[in-house]
Amino acid sequence: MTAARPVLLTGASGALGSMLAETLSEAGWGLVLTDLKPFPRALPPHARFSHADLCDQAAVAALAEGCGAIVHFGGVSTERPFEEVLGPNIGGLFHIYEAARLAGARVIFASSNHAIGFHERSTTLDADCELRPDTYYGLSKAYGELMGKLYWYKHGVESISIRIGSGFPEPSNRRMLSSWLSYADLARLVDAGLRATDIGCEVIWGASANSRSWWRHDSRAKLGWVPQDSTDDLVDALGNIVSDDPVTELYQGGHLCARDYSRAQPPLTPNRPEKTP
């Protein structure tokens, strides 16, 4: 994979996708942009846009032809009924990896902290921790990470799954003191993932340089990515901004853990032998 080959960016019309389209173009990448929705601004230099459905395997393969990498930010981006997640996030993800195999392309996959959301906030995690999805959306992200492993070990398709924490312009509550990923740090991470050599199949925590992080960042050095932003100077401003839901505040996945939650009490753990109030 070289900079001479264009990059296919799915989900290009979303908040993160459109930001990446601008920053990757500025970094010199030629881009093939795609989404179901129109691109929300003027196309950046050296970019073309095509409407495509991730559920259309032939369309995805045609867009990826000749590309050196697929930056996959498309699909359902929050919790929805399972049937709505199934097509784009399960079938569509398979189409992305098949297209990458055929094109000889690398995949950079927008995974999510919701793939591990039911780990408690008192726990510090490595990237190879147990998957504990908190929603159908999170389940689709766990599936995507496992798809990356399948295609690496069976087909040699390189991939990076970015387990994005809270990708917003600014942090807004206590949880984000640990999980926030700035737009600028995400752009630098994707660019580093495109330029790195011999990456194999990696999972990397998508978080800025937050000292309150719940995650060990052992993969950063391999990519040469050094996040430059941090929430550390916002502890006093945001530390008391919490919800009134004990399930939301217990787990790393936050409010999505509490959505449709039907247990009477969270299960006891070694880190928390007493029941949550």
Just list the catalytic residues: 137
Rounded Cα distance between 6 and 35, Å, is: 17
Order of strands, sheet of 47-51, starting from the edge strand that comes earlier in the sequence: 47-51, 31-35, 7-10, 69-72, 106-112, 159-164, 201-206
Rounded Cα distance between 231 and 254, Å, is: 18
> 3-state secondary structure string, the chain?
CCCCCCEEEECCCCHHHHHHHHHHHHCCCCEEEEECCCCCCCCCCCEEEEECCCCCHHHHHHHHCCCCEEEECCCCCCCCCHHHHHHHHHHHHHHHHHHHHHHCCEEEEEEEHHHCCCCECCCCECCCCCCCCCCHHHHHHHHHHHHHHHHHHHHCCCEEEEEECEECCCCCCCCHHHHEECHHHHHHHHHHHHHCCCCCEEEEEECCCCCCCCECCCCHHHHCCCCCCCCHHHHHHHCCCCCCCHHHHHECCCHHHHCCCCCCCCCCECCECCCCC
